[in-house]
Structure 1
Amino acid sequence: MFQIGDKVFYPMHGAGIIKAIEEREVLGKKREYCIINIPLNKMDVMIPWDTISISGVRSIVDRKTMNEILFDFHNVESDCSLPWKERFKSNTEKLKTGRMEESAEIVRDLLHRNKEKSLNTSERQMLNQAQRNIISELVLIKDITADEAADLLKQTS
């Protein structure tokens, strides 16, 4: 499973580093918790150790996979043919998976859509969340700043 110092991605908040695994009492019940420091959000999250596998926490992708995702992000054509309601539902499901590839597809497709027609508030929020997910993981994978990670996304989009 995971150990202290592992770089992980938590779909609810982004990429971080496991800083501790410790027993805590919450609401009168003692449990082991995984404490993850999320640098981009400047916060720590506690996830019960016995639910970590169903929480969506995963190891961050490696550099090779990230480079492939960025290549596809910049070179694969966007598909915005779905009506708004279906597109939003599909993108919501993709975002919940926490998979880097899915977040990159959301960003690529919504940026393309935004060039054609202004996004509504819900899709703008979804775009921002997906961008934060990618940026948080890029920061840990490539050991760069959030601004440098954001620039990687803007290079050809």
Structure 2
Amino acid sequence: KKPAAKKPAAKKPAAKKPAAKKPAAKRPAAKKPAAKKPAVKPTAKPAAKAAAKPAAKKPAAKSGSKKLPFAKGDYVVYPTHGVGKVTGIERREVAGFNLQLFVILFDSEKMTLRVPVEKVADSGLRKISSKDKMQAVTATLKGRARSKRTMWSRRAQEYEAKINSGDPVAIAEVVRDLYRAAGQPEQSYSERQMYEAALERLVNEYALVEKLDVEAATEKIESVLAG
């Protein structure tokens, strides 16, 4: 019977099978190196941003090579302010850009405006009109006034848009339509203000083109209106 008692001892090697599962549990640890791949992407982003910043300053450097449309001492017309004089050309850094600016003085409004060279066309800034343009202005003033029966608020908007267009012919239309000769009904207060604003804007440019002082230019325009 003693040899028969040794049979349970044969089960010990079978008990070692669960221990074989421990190496299999280490397989997920192999995924850790693979997770490091996305870490390469953040290093590329700062490099791209750093390269983009110097590139944004390139357009500002080109402005100096362009031929400027105006010089110091030139008279110009800005649509919403009328006649002004270029008193200087300067450079200033604005929002990280080195801009070249026209410095314009408007005597009638006692103000100074700075216009970037790159924005001249968009702003409507232009040279003083030619004599041919002033002849068109004179022809417009001699024309028949267009009386409208629409509400004043709507007409005022139309007149103001013409005054701020910077076009001397359009401004002459406002002067012509709001002018009142002797014997005609008087202007209302609002009409008178609009008329004077348009007349002043037109006279300032007319005087420069015709080489007259403001008073003489005003008298000449009003004599044309009177016929």
* TM-score (normalised: structure 2): 0.59
1:2 to 61, 69, 89: 69
Q: Which runs of 5+ in 1 are unaligned?
A: none
State how far apart, in whole Å, the 2-side matches of 1:21 and 1:3 are. 9
Contact 1:11 1:97 in 2 (8 A): yes
State how far apart, in whole Å, the 2-side matches of 1:135 and 1:17 are. 16
Q: 1:40 to 1:89 in 2, by over 3 A?
A: closer
1:125-140 aligned within 5 A: 125-140=193-208
Partner of 1:16, secondary structure, is: strand
Q: Compute the displacement of 1:119 (Å).
A: 2.0
- Answering whether residue 144 of structure 2 is matched by residue 77 of structure 1, we say yes
Greater Rg over alpha carbons, structure = 2
Q: Compute the displacement of 1:26 (Å).
A: 6.5
Q: 1:60 to 1:34 in 2, by over 3 A?
A: same
Amino acid at match of 1:66: M
C-alpha offsets along residues 33-53 of structure 1, whole Å, 9 cap, x if unaligned?
Answer: 111233444554322333222
Q: Compute the displacement of 1:63 (Å).
A: 0.9
**Higher normalized helix content (fraction of residues):** 2
**Higher normalized strand content (fraction of residues):** 1
- Answering whether residue 118 of structure 2 is matched by residue 50 of structure 1, we say yes
Report the count of equivalent residues.
155
1:88 is aligned to 156
Q: Compute the displacement of 1:24 (Å).
A: 3.0
Root-mean-square deviation (CA, aligned residues, Å) is: 2.6
State how far apart, in whole Å, the 1-side matches of 2:89 and 2:154 are. 40
- Answering whether residue 199 of structure 2 is matched by residue 120 of structure 1, we say no
Contact 1:16 1:140 in 2 (8 A): no
Q: Which runs of 5+ in 2 are unaligned?
A: 1-67
* TM-score (normalised: structure 1): 0.82
Using the aligned pairs only, state the percent identity. Answer: 26
Q: 1:88 to 1:42 in 2, by over 3 A?
A: closer
Partner of 2:123, secondary structure, is: coil
1:53-64 aligned within 5 A: 53-64=121-132
Partner of 2:224, secondary structure, is: coil
Amino acid at match of 1:137: E
Q: Compute the displacement of 1:99 (Å).
A: 0.4
State how far apart, in whole Å, the 2-side matches of 1:11 and 1:119 are. 26
State how far apart, in whole Å, the 1-side matches of 2:127 and 2:91 are. 22
